[in-house]
Amino acid sequence: MAQIDIDAAAAIALATARQQHGIVSNSLPRDLEAQGWEVWLRTLAPDSFTAPFSDEHCEFWDHFWQLLQARKRGEQLAPADRNIVLPLNRGGGKSTVAEMAAIAEGCILGNGFVLYLSDSQLLAEEHLFSIKSILENGHFAKYYPKMAKPKVSSSTNTQAKFTQDTIITECGWGMTARGILGNVRGGRQGTLRFTLVINDDIDSLNDSLMVIEKKKRIIARSVFPAMDKNRGVTIFAQNLITKNSVVSQIVNRTTDILAERLVIGGGKGVPAFDELVIGTQQRPDGSTGWVIETAVPRWPYFNIEDAKAFLALSGKDAFLAEYQHQFEDKKGRVISQYDRETQVITWSEFEKVFGVRHIPQHWTASVGLDVGFSDGAHPHYSAWDFVAVSPLNSPLPNRHFVYRSRTFTATSIDDQAISIWRDMMPNGSKVSPEWNVPFKEYDPLRQHFGANSGERGGIIKHWQMSHEASGVMLTLNQRYGLPFVKVKHYGSSDGVAQWNTLSLPDYTRHHPFKDDDVGEDGKYWLGSPNLYYIVDDDQYHLPINDNGMKTALEQIEGWEWVKVKILESGLTSEKPSKVNDDHADVIKGLIRHLQAAQPTPLTRSETFEAAMPVSYTIAEMRKRSPYKNGLTDGQEMARALMESEVRERTGIERDRPHWESVGSDDGW
């Protein structure tokens, strides 16, 4: 990397000393420029450029610096030289480079008019505010005083332009910030058209294909025609985001926009890491998530902690797109992480861990419904799916269980409701209903189940159904006491990434329901997923109906990505198939809205117990006590002292005295 040499540092020190003593020469900025772009950047924006430059930074500034000198000499610029694409990864400093490039034009040339274009007006104005802050940092007042001051109106003697969306400096250089979907046609300052257009973050992850096409039309037919025809320069500072985004199409030449250009970094998106390995790891709350196991940043200054946080928050697909410019070619199964061997369990296997053959009463559950009444070659079923989440105080906290799936073909909603009520009522070892309502208020229920089932309550906390069936929802609400609400419409693939993540096994942990062996690498063969499907014992090997989740699991296994073509541009995008997706649509909807992902939290007493050292917990102390249900005097004293220490350290208070039984049903 280029470094500030001793002669350059001495020249800067001499120039600074001359200015401090009032000996200011007009050659001061030119002396600084003569030292090259790195000295120039570090001198004028020392807070922005504190680290070594990456290879891509150097390539950009070498080219842009020469470009400015050529413009200053009045030379004709070739399109391939003045159209620059800077496809850096998230965290690669692309906006810092772009903002300083705008400032460099005004300083080196003494004039110009910049369009700073972003996805939204607010985002563009944030970049403008950053540039304004740099100009006012005090360093520009020494070298380029007219760049550091707003232009003053000669008639009113007031500042003419340092507004929210526009800067015009005393030397005549200006910049305006615009959102790409706003009005960008015909921008000019007096007779001066745009001399530099910076496209910084014009693409958005949520852009549809039609929005992408609209942005391309705006760039081609509104932005480029508004540029200075002889000396206009354009910079695209953008990570690729999606394979069909505007900048992806430019870089990959799937559009004829910007056919002649320079792509910094070897002609493709610049990744953040070499030798990247992403694995899974179980979190303290029992859930499984993605983690970076190995990574070598291409730029040593890169903040890997920010990347780790983004991976944990946004998932693997978004991470690879934002940081590595890698986009999954979606084909094959939508729920690609589904594995029958590890995720389908029986009620007997469930009972071995949780002690019951039903969802316990202190768990939380959600219900989803996709309404359909047609049959035929491709029937639209009515699909009901129930998803429960284990509480934080359970042997397996924060695990998701699809514990009931019901499929109806050409069946009235009344018959469906009565059938579902039968499933939710006590049966076998289940002594309490999953959902309670006073049946006397609902005639159809009173006829089938008696006068009164009790007060409203139960484990089911959320009911959601497809957004188009208002009449069905009212029937279920008013006649059958099932409080469904219509979900807000969501995208066809929303919830898919979360579903796949929940299906991931943590290979560092033993499978909780099945025999599992350790391989030579020290990891388990099956591992521990976060999502399970519970079926009847006799239908585990050969599902024949809903008790074996036959239809639901067949749909999950057969649910595939299909190509969707946009005729105007010829682009294609992948979406989950709409054929035989009834149950898949329900489950992804529950997961997408995270209603099924809220485990019952620990009580204050359980939180306090979790904060105690393991050897001082009631459960562990009982193992060493000679009494069946109590502790010795010495144990009680030791426990009391440790409680006091934990209370002082954590600030947590217990709800009840510490000698109360914790985790036991028999009391003292």
Shared domain for 453 and 365, answered yes or no, is yes
Shared domain for 436 and 538, answered yes or no, is yes
% of residues, the chain, pLDDT over 90: 37
Q: Which of 168-182, 255-269, 309-323, 452-466 has the lowest mean pLDDT?
A: 452-466
Query: Is residue 432's pLDDT more than 60?
Result: yes
Residue 331 in domain: no
Residue 365 in domain: yes
Query: Is residue 661's pLDDT more than 50?
Result: no
User: What is the arithmetic mean of pLDDT over 299-320?
Assistant: 84
Q: Count of CB atoms within 10 A of residue 358's CB? A: 22
Residue 553 in domain: no
Q: How many domains does the chain have?
A: 4
Q: What is the 3-state secondary structure (H, E, C) of 246-281?
A: HHHHHHCCCCCCCCCCEECCCCCCCCCEEEEEEEEE
Which of 136-140, 233-237, 600-604, 607-611 tops mean pLDDT?
233-237
Q: Count of CB atoms within 10 A of residue 175's CB? A: 28
Query: Is residue 664's pLDDT more than 90?
Result: no
Enumerate the H helices of 275-434 as residue ranges: 304-314, 316-319, 340-343, 347-354, 413-424
Please state, in angstroms and as integers, the Cα–Cα distance from residue 75 to each residue in 35, 101, 233, 379, following that order. Answer: 22, 19, 13, 69
Residue 640 in domain: yes
Read off φ and ψ for residue 171, nearest 5 degrees.
-80, -10
Collect all residues with Cβ–Cβ distance below 8 Å to 651 and sequence separation of at least 6. none
Residue 663 in domain: no
pLDDT per position as a tens digit, 80-137: 899 999 999 988 899 999 999 999 999 999 889 999 999 999 999 999 999 999 999 8
| pLDDT value at residue 330 | 63
Interatomic CA distance for residues 598 and 366, integer angstroms: 10
Shared domain for 242 and 313, answered yes or no, is no
User: What is the arithmetic mean of pLDDT over 528-550?
Assistant: 94
| pLDDT value at residue 421 | 94
| pLDDT value at residue 489 | 60
Shared domain for 251 and 387, answered yes or no, is no
Eight-state DSSP code of residue 320: I
Shared domain for 155 and 226, answered yes or no, is yes
Eight-state DSSP code of residue 401: E
| pLDDT value at residue 153 | 54
Interatomic CA distance for residues 564 and 576, integer angstroms: 10
Look up residue 8 and give its amino acid.
A
Domain boundary among 263, 281, 301: 263
Query: Is residue 298's pLDDT more than 70?
Result: yes
Shared domain for 301 and 443, answered yes or no, is no
Query: Is residue 312's pLDDT more than 90?
Result: no
Shared domain for 242 and 292, answered yes or no, is no
User: Which residue has better confidence, 667 or 83?
Assistant: 83
| pLDDT value at residue 572 | 64
| pLDDT value at residue 234 | 95
pTM check: above 0.85:
no
Domain boundary among 245, 263, 281: 263
Residue 573 in domain: no
User: Which residue has better confidence, 314 or 554?
Assistant: 554
Shared domain for 139 and 197, answered yes or no, is yes
Is residue 561 within 8 Å of 576, Cβ to Cβ? yes
Residue 71 in domain: yes
User: Which residue has better confidence, 607 or 298?
Assistant: 298
Query: Is residue 186's pLDDT more than 60?
Result: no
Domain boundary among 244, 263, 282: 263
Query: Is residue 479's pLDDT more than 90?
Result: yes
pLDDT per position as a tens digit, 247-276: 999 998 988 899 999 999 888 888 989 888
Is residue 237 within 8 Å of 95, Cβ to Cβ? yes
Residue 289 in domain: yes
The tokens for 478 are 């008013």
Shared domain for 85 and 205, answered yes or no, is yes
User: What is the arithmetic mean of pLDDT over 235-250?
Assistant: 89
| Best CA proximity match to 241, nearest among 122, 126, 326 | 326
Query: Is residue 8's pLDDT more than 50?
Result: no
What average pLDDT does the structure give for the chain? 83
User: Which residue has better confidence, 351 or 190?
Assistant: 351
Shared domain for 437 and 384, answered yes or no, is yes
List the beta strands (DSSP E) in 71-230.
83-86, 113-118, 166-168, 174-179, 188-189, 192-193, 196-200
Shared domain for 184 and 130, answered yes or no, is yes
| pLDDT value at residue 464 | 92
| pLDDT value at residue 21 | 38
| pLDDT value at residue 389 | 92
- Residue 405, domain CATH: 3.30.420
Interatomic CA distance for residues 434 and 485, integer angstroms: 18
Query: Is residue 187's pLDDT more than 70?
Result: no
Shared domain for 311 and 180, answered yes or no, is no
Is residue 405 within 8 Å of 583, Cβ to Cβ? yes
pLDDT per position as a tens digit, 145-161: 999 888 765 544 455 55
List the domain range (segments joined by +) for residue 414: 340-548+582-597
- Residue 47, domain CATH: 3.40.50
